Amino acid sequence: MEKIAELLQKALANADFKSAFVAADRLEEMQRAFEKLLEDGILKREFYDKIVARLGLYWHFQPQSSIGPVRSVIITAVPQPKTSLKFEVQGNKYYAIVPPTYVYDTDKVAVKIMSPILAAHGYTLHDALLPSKLIAARCGLASYGRNNITYIDGWGSYFRLRAYFSDIPCPQDSWQEPAALDRCSKCTACIKKCPTSAISADRFLVDAGKCLTFFNEGEELFPQWIDPAWHNCLVGCMVCQDVCPVNKDHVAWVMPGGDFSEEETAMILGGVPRERIPADIGQKLETVGMLEYYELLQRNLGVLISKAQKTMEKGE
């Protein structure tokens, strides 16, 4: 079994992935740990219920019987930069950032690498909807930061995690208590800079219900207490990651993700329904993981452009 696992991990490493195995027996422990967060109020039930309703985010702690026996959870990580999109309005160009993790094409790459190797030895691979940050921290693949973002040596927080089920026996279970970055004990950079005060010194878990990402990924109107100047990404937020000292060598890693003409930008800002936008706009958005957020882009992009315009008027 270890030989097959080595083949798998070597093939993934050749494509710049890191990976780890976790025994499926750990799923029950994961579920208990997650439920305890809810019971203790560390993860607020109201917030969790909203996320479930919004995304249908039910963790697969109990794999579907239709996929057969599950013996391992395979977790993969791949480096991923920020992505910059360019929009044109009245002859002016505006840029919007998509944070790391939103681009999911790398998931297909991982499946394309792993599936043939597993199939050649009589095993299968299936998508798993699981708390990937928790798994990565518990198996030693990553460490937690105070901002509840995970970090990997050499990559900072610039990567995407993905979990998969497999019926291959777990070759080596490196389950452990989740590790936190040593640097966080003496650093308060993210606490000071978080615009919504979602990060605090008295708890090592971000208050996700106050995080800007929670609001700009939802369809509800922004609360009045959120200052429009706080918005910094098309979806999500990069403030705590950009100021983190561990990311100092990665913050400049930005890749161009596509240009949107005056006409294309007008369609997005005008709220043209998704089914009526031209295929090439849809393709550009899908490439950077933004098509599924299309209904939010009119509001979110509008806020970013308005912020940029006010900055230009002030001459900043």
Cα(198)–Cα(213) distance, integer angstroms: 11
Per-residue model confidence as pLDDT tens digits over 171-216: 888 888 888 898 998 999 999 999 999 998 887 778 888 999 999 9
- Read off the pTM: 0.92
Sign of CA dihedral 19, 23, 25, 26: negative
Strands (E) across 171-315 are located at 254-260
How deeply is 10 buried, as exposed, middle or buried, from its count of CB atoms within 10 A (0-12, 13-18, 19+)?
A: exposed
DSSP summary character for residue 280: H
Per-residue model confidence as pLDDT tens digits over 255-305: 999 999 999 999 999 999 999 999 999 999 999 999 999 999 999 999 999
The reported pLDDT for the residue numbered 187 is: 93
The better pLDDT of the pair 113, 314 is held by 113
Cα(228)–Cα(300) distance, integer angstroms: 10
Per-residue model confidence as pLDDT tens digits over 210-263: 999 999 999 989 999 999 999 999 999 999 999 999 999 999 999 999 999 999
Stretch 32-46: mean pLDDT: 81
Per-residue model confidence as pLDDT tens digits over 122-177: 999 999 999 999 999 999 999 999 888 999 999 999 999 999 999 999 988 888 88
Domain ranges of the chain: 2-314
The better pLDDT of the pair 77, 42 is held by 77
Whether 307 has a pLDDT exceeding 90, the answer reads: yes
The tokens for 225 are: 């207490």
Cα(276)–Cα(252) distance, integer angstroms: 36
Cα(218)–Cα(234) distance, integer angstroms: 12
| 123 close to 1: Cβ distance less than 8 angstroms | no
| 45 close to 63: Cβ distance less than 8 angstroms | no
The reported pLDDT for the residue numbered 72 is: 95
Least confident range from 19-28, 44-53, 75-84, 86-95: namely 44-53
Strands (E) across the chain are located at 18-23, 72-79, 82-89, 92-98, 125-128, 143-144, 150-151, 159-166, 254-260
The tokens for 106 are: 């790398």
The reported pLDDT for the residue numbered 210 is: 92
The reported pLDDT for the residue numbered 1 is: 59
Whether 37 has a pLDDT exceeding 90, the answer reads: no
